[in-house]
């Protein structure tokens, strides 16, 4: 068992409340943006290797 200070407990509570407010659709959009960024990086690397 872990004993938390009042400040730590308040911080964890605020993080959980913030996470609860995030919509699944927003998370999905973020994953798509990250995926597109990784795809672009991969394509740039492949072009460099081909040159």
Decide if 44 contacts 36 (C-beta within 8 A): no
Rounded CA separation 43/49 (Å): 10
What was the pLDDT predicted at 44?
80
What was the pLDDT predicted at 19?
87
Can you give the pTM of this predicted structure?
Answer: 0.44
What was the pLDDT predicted at 12?
94
How does pLDDT run across 6-51, given as a tens digit for each residue?
999 999 999 998 888 888 888 888 888 888 877 777 778 788 888 7
- The alpha carbon torsion through 15, 21, 27, 29 (nearest 10 deg) reads -140
């Amino acid at each position: 068992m872990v004993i938390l200070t009042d400040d730590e407990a308040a911080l964890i509570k605020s993080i959980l409340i913030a996470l609860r407010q995030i919509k699944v659709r927003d998370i999905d959009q973020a994953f798509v943006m990250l995926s597109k960024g990784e795809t672009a990086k991969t394509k740039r690397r492949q072009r460099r290797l081909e040159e």
